[in-house]
Amino acid sequence: MKKRGAFTLVELLVVIAVIALLMAILMPALQKVRRMGRATVCRSNVRQWGLIFHLYAQDNESKLPQSIAGGSLTAQEAYWIVSTLSYYKAKDIRMCPSTKVIRGPVDRSHGGTLAAWGPFPSGGSGDWWADFDTGSYGLNEWCACPPSDSGSYWGFPAKDAWRTVDAKGANRVPLFLDCVYVDAFPLHDDGPLDFEPPPYEWQNSWGDWPTNAMRLFCIDRHDGGINGVFLDGSVGKIPLRALWKLKWHRSFDVNGPWTKRHSRWPDWLLRYRDEY
């Protein structure tokens, strides 16, 4: 009888080495494909949010959500999260697929580059924070329509709010984007973080409503940029250094201190584009 052929130890080791080499070559490519897939789903999500805000506007004389209490609306009813609830069913469109929930209910819970904000603690009928749930996108809060008799809203000048979806230059007005919080009020002189924020952490001292709110959007979630929908409904990936060249509010200076050739960008941002 003929002896059966079998692998020698050397042959087996060679096969294992070849498989390991192929895996080492293919894994980065597979990871890149996965990132691209998540970014595609993210852009689909923000596109849907653009449609949601436009549907809301169609039902409200082209106006954006009121944001603060006034007239017949309570603070809960006026805020974007509650005012848009009737225009969608699946809450997963609040979540960028590149992020995940990493904590339990915490008040004013910020997210991170790869972490969702929230969930927020539940409360009584008057606790509108409980409706926030969780997510990883945020509203450019300048895209709001506060009551006409309000000189300010949330401490910011109402005159700079966009109010309607058909504003002039709407294709350069960010509406809804990747963000570490539910919303933000960016200003043209907000500076970027000196260091790249950790993927699953955000400290209020790094940026919040009152100080450096642009930092809430300036996160490397999608290979050097974030995804967002503009006031006209168009969608795109926005390079991080280009954030300062968009028209966030009516008085926003798109030629501000962070748009100059000599702007002293921190090292972690130098490799990113500055044009959208």
The pair of structure tokens assigned to 6 is: 């079998």
Task: State the virtual CA torsion across 30, 36, 40, 46 in degrees, nearest 10.
Answer: 130
pLDDT at 30: 62
**Close Cβ partners of 93 (under 8 Å, ≥ 6 residues apart):** 45, 48, 49
| C-alpha pair distances (Å), 233 with each of 28, 32, 191, 228, 268 | 34, 28, 27, 10, 30
Contact between 224 and 232 (Cβ < 8 Å): no
Tell which residue, 213, 233, 253, has the closest CA to residue 52.
233
CB atoms within 10 A of CB 189: 12
Domain boundaries, the chain: 48-269
**C-alpha span between 276 and 236 (Å, rounded):** 9
Contact between 275 and 243 (Cβ < 8 Å): no
**C-alpha span between 141 and 248 (Å, rounded):** 9
Task: State the virtual CA torsion across 34, 36, 42, 44 in degrees, nearest 10.
Answer: -120
pLDDT at 35: 73
- Give the chain's residues under pLDDT 50: none
Give 213's Cβ-side CA count (13 Å radius): 18
pLDDT at 128: 62
Does residue 174 have a cis peptide bond before it, meaning omega lies within 30 degrees of 0?
Answer: no
pLDDT at 29: 62
**C-alpha span between 112 and 207 (Å, rounded):** 12
